[in-house]
Structure 1
Amino acid sequence: MTLLLLAGSGEARQIAAALAQAGVDAVASLAGATQRAKPLPLPMRVGGFGGRGGFIAYVKEAGITAVLDATHPFADQITARTAAICAELGLPYLYHLRAPWVAGTGDNWQEIAREEDAAALIPQGKTVFLGTGRQTLDRFANLAGRRLICRQIDPPTGPFPFEGGKFLIGRPPFSVEHEMELFAALGIDWIVVKNAGGDASRTKLTAARALGIPVLMIRRPPPPEGAQITDSVDAAVAWALSQ
């Protein structure tokens, strides 16, 4: 058996460590969206597959017999394509999808379906923290008249794509104290995030609650229909071992 682990989430790192410790024949794949990504304790490949045809060719050439998808919850195009191809080829497929964030006492969240919807809710003149990454930054172009601060891991390769914004470089994890100090220093009025779930990146939401900052939460894309799904790292590892 050769398992293909599609990585990209914090849980993927935990799964990779467990598979390596168990001696599972596995390959970890990273899309390459983040520069200088920390290595995983498995043989790695970095970069896209070249679309549907490239993925099918890789699976066959590498002798992949099962696929464990532990990509980011918003990597929906990769997940949909992978699930469909595995179903077509008869390959066992498991999607590890961590539980979404749920608002609690003191949280001031509003859910939106897409980035473009933020403009209808955030008043002019406000300072907005975008914790959504660089890949969908262009979707906030309609937030003219607001001061935008977009945090990303890698240094930008060009200027901010539209007027009224700037980049903030930082590599997680960030403590609640760090986030509170940052938001206060920047004068943040609103925060926009994707509902990625997970404990590591929830600190900004805890900080927003403590500071009384409203949050716009971008709804997750739906998972592949009919796919086997788990939100448990232990269950994902057990599934891999059972293959």
Structure 2
Amino acid sequence: MHVLILGGTAEARALAGLLHPGTRVTSSLAGRVAAPRLPAGEVRIGGFGGPEGLAEWLREHAVDAVIDATHPFAERISFNAARATATAHVPLLALRRPGWVRSEGDDWRDAASLEEAAGLLGGLGDRVFLTTGRLGLAAFAERPEWFLVRSVDAPDVPMPARCELLLDRGPFTLDGERELIARHRIAVLVTKDSGGAATAPKLAAAREAGLPVVVVRRPPVPEGVPAVTSTDEAAAWVHARA
């Protein structure tokens, strides 16, 4: 059985490890990170050329099932995967880590997009901890606030005029996030609802400091695509089709 995992996340790596070597696994990475952590099994890097290109790749490589384990905000590849698997008649499953849940003491402001998040900053504070990833920085380029921008790789898009760039990769610790917020005198946190434990400590640190948090809501899984929230569930789905 040949399974294609659309990956780039910790869950995708864990799933590849669960399935390999008993199942032939190919993990596809977008290639946006300079030094990605590689999963078990075969790895391909780069795009497919849209849904038509992905459908053709599935046929050429005799793929029996596809698991979309991309980042919860990788909306385009999820849409392409839904179209491609429907065209190639290959079953598709979405693996999505659970989103974050408010706790007592949280001061969250929901935003439907990065642009809306940028618009909510007025009046919340003039020193912003921005953890939305390098690809979305252009939405904040015209803001007057000072930003601490944390990213895995250096951005190649417009950035806020007043900012400091911090290149770092999770998982992060609560003590580390507390120290970062205090040292940079952060007044507001902006983040995407990526879920998971690796980057969640910033939310606890913001809660302790009494900071407002602007949370960008994640896009939904494409209509008609079944979804699970754990690698064990995804592995069971694959084994049921073996």
TM-score by length of 2: 0.94
2:28 maps to: 29
Q: Distance in 2 between matches of 1:82 and 1:121?
A: 33
Aligned residue number for residue 200 of structure 1: 198
Q: Which runs of 5+ in 2 are unaligned?
A: none
Deviation at 1:113, TM superposition (A): 0.8
Read off the aligned partner of 1:213 and give its amino acid letter.
L
Give the Å deviation of 1:209: 0.9
Matches within 5 A, 1:55-204: 55-123=54-122, 126-143=126-143, 145-156=144-155, 161-204=159-202
After superposition, the C-alpha distances for 1:149-179 in whole angstroms (9 at most, x for unaligned) are 2111123458x63411231111111101001
Contact 2:140–2:160 (CA under 8 A) maintained in structure 1: no
In 2, distance between residues paired with 1:193 and 1:120?
14
For 1:107, give the aligned amino acid.
D
Q: Percent identity?
A: 39
- Rate the CA distance shift 1:233–1:142 in 2: closer, same or farther, 3 A: same
Matching residue within 207, 232, 235 for 2:233: 235
The DSSP-based 3-state class of the residue aligned with 1:3 is strand
| Alignment partner of 2:221 out of 203, 211, 223 | 223
Poorly superposed stretches of 4+, deviation over 6 Å: none
Distance 1:50 1:120 in 2: 34
- Once the two structures are TM-superposed, the CA of residue 94 in structure 1 deviates from its matched residue by 0.4
Contact 2:15 2:231 (8 Å CA) reproduced: yes
The unaligned stretches of length 5 or more in structure 1 are: none
Shift of residue 203, structure 1, vs aligned partner: 1.0
The one-letter code sitting in structure 2 at the alignment partner of 1:41 is A
- In 2: Cα distance, 1:120 partner to 1:61 partner: 46
Q: Is the 8 A contact 1:8 1:72 kept in 2?
A: yes
Decide whether the 8 Å contact of 1:127 with 1:146 is kept in 2.
yes
Structure 2 equivalent of residue 7 of structure 1: 7
How many residues align? The count is 240
Instruction: Check conservation: 1:119, 1:142, Cα contact below 8 A.
Output: no
1:114 CA drift (Å) = 1.1
Change (3 A) 1:225 1:156: closer
Q: What CA deviation, in whole Å up to 9, does each residue of 1:77-132 have, x standing for no partner? A: 10011012212221111001111111011111111111112344323660111100
CA distance in 2 between partners of 1:118 and 1:44 (Å): 35
Q: Give the deviation of 1:192 after TM superposition.
A: 0.6
> 2:197 is aligned with what amino acid?
D
Residues 210-236 of structure 1 deviation map (CA, whole Å, 9 limit, x = unaligned): 111110000111211111111121110
- For the residues of structure 2 that align with 1:175 and 1:109, how far apart are their CA atoms? 21
**Shift of residue 34 of structure 1?**
1.0
CA distance, structure 1, for counterparts of residue 233 and residue 155 of structure 2? 38
| Separation in structure 1 between the aligned mates of residue 118 and residue 96 of structure 2, nearest angstrom | 29
Equivalent pair of 1:116/1:142 in contact (CA under 8 Å)? no
Taking only aligned residues, the RMSD between alpha carbons, in angstroms, comes to: 1.6
Shift of 1:7: 0.7
Separation in structure 1 between the aligned mates of residue 239 and residue 188 of structure 2, nearest angstrom:
44
Secondary structure at 1:136 match in 2: helix
Find the aligned partners of 2:166 and 2:199 in 1 and give their Cα distance. 16
Instruction: Supply the distance in 1 between the matched residues of 2:240 and 2:118 (Cα, whole angstroms).
Output: 48
